[in-house]
Amino acid sequence: MSASVSLSNADLVAGQLEAYNAQDLDAFCAFYADDAVLGAYGGDTLAVGLAAIRERHRKLFADFPQNHARLVHRAIVGGHVVDHEDVSRAPGGEAFQVCAVYSFAGGKIARVDFVK
């Protein structure tokens, strides 16, 4: 899936999850706005801007080459998409659940807030 065509918000999220699991950094970043923000729900800002998001995920993919997120459930609420995911860093390694709340602007992901 490519972010270069007009996609629904759910398709944007699905595409970035597919790229995340493939650890395709360029494809992953293509789904995000230049000024996108990653945040911890109700708390810290994790990354501001596409360059920071790219660097954060470059490091994550290098540190955890077998990292994988499995979609448990996707909900569309108004203009937002909410994903519940099971994430494993490696087979038999660290695993956790996360809820990602996506917001959009200009046909791209503008903000993601993570509930963990």
Q: Helix or strand or coil: residue 10?
A: helix
Q: What angle do CA 25, 94, 56 make, to 5 degrees?
A: 30
Find the mean pLDDT for residues 6-34: 97
Position 5 scores a pLDDT of 64
| 73 vs 85: CA distance, rounded Å | 7
Q: What angle do CA 54, 56, 62 make, to 5 degrees?
A: 95
Exposure string for 46-76, b = 16+ CB within 10 A, e = fewer: ebeebeebbeebeeebeebeebbeeeeebee
pLDDT above 60 for 1:
no
Give the model confidence (pLDDT) of 93-108 as tens digits. Answer: 889 999 999 999 999 9
Residue 116 burial class via C-beta count within 10 angstroms: exposed 0-12, middle 13-18, buried 19 and up: exposed
Give the model confidence (pLDDT) of 38-82 as tens digits. Answer: 999 988 999 999 999 999 999 999 999 999 999 999 999 999 999
Position 2 scores a pLDDT of 54
pTM recorded for the entire structure: 0.91
Parallel, antiparallel, or unpaired for β 32-40 and 108-115? Answer: parallel
